[in-house]
Structure 1
Amino acid sequence: MEVENEEPSWFVYLVRTSKSALYCGITNDLQRRFKQHQEGKGAKALRGKGPLQLVWSQSEINKSEALKTEIAIKKLRKVQKEHLVKQAVRFDRK
């Protein structure tokens, strides 16, 4: 029986807008997704809000875990999100 190598394949990320707002999202290709945001082809919430900065990201093992982490981060106050960015720490949902 072959065991699959479970490498992180999904990412949760924070993007900072020109007005310092933080946008949280998930993707399976961080570079591609950030490029889409920069080109105005990503989330509508970020269109016209540039220049954008990718300020934090965290890898997750699968889409389900990434979604759970995204939901938890979206529930945080901005000061808590800023702590993630400033300290460059891994977010623990527990």
Structure 2
Amino acid sequence: MNYTYILKCSDNTLYTGWTNNLEKRLEAHNNKRGAKYTKARIPVTLEYYEVFDSKEEALRRECEIKKLTRMQKEKLILSKKP
């Protein structure tokens, strides 16, 4: 499985990425072994994710989400909340 995800950082910014192991990647971000962007913004929390069969699909979706405005990303996050 491959995932595209959105994290909320401690400074309230949003970070979008992809991984093939969501739990391990979230742990890496919070242990300053994730992206350079999140290292200075821990702790991060997982706000949203989508599941894909292929890496290519996840990467494509990551690019799409990164082009969204913050407001559009927040709407996306809210659309998946129970």
Q: TM-score, normalised by structure 1?
A: 0.83
Q: Which residue of 2 aligns with 1:71?
A: 63
Q: Which residue of 2 aligns with 1:85?
A: 77
CA deviation map 1:37-94 (0-9, x unaligned) = 00000100001202211110000110000010000000000000001111217xxxxx
Equivalents in 2 of 1:40, 1:50: separation in Å? 8
Detail structure 1 runs of 4+ shifted over 4 Å in the superposition: none
CA RMSD for the aligned pairs? 1.0
Gapped regions of structure 2 (runs ≥ 5): none
Give SS of 2:51's match.
strand
Counterpart residue type for residue 43 of structure 1: A
Which residue of the other structure, out of 6, 12, 22, is the alignment partner of 2:4? Answer: 12
Q: Which has the larger radius of gyration?
A: 1
| Aligned counterpart, 1:24 | 16
1:19 aligned counterpart, secondary structure:
coil
Secondary structure of 2:16's partner? strand
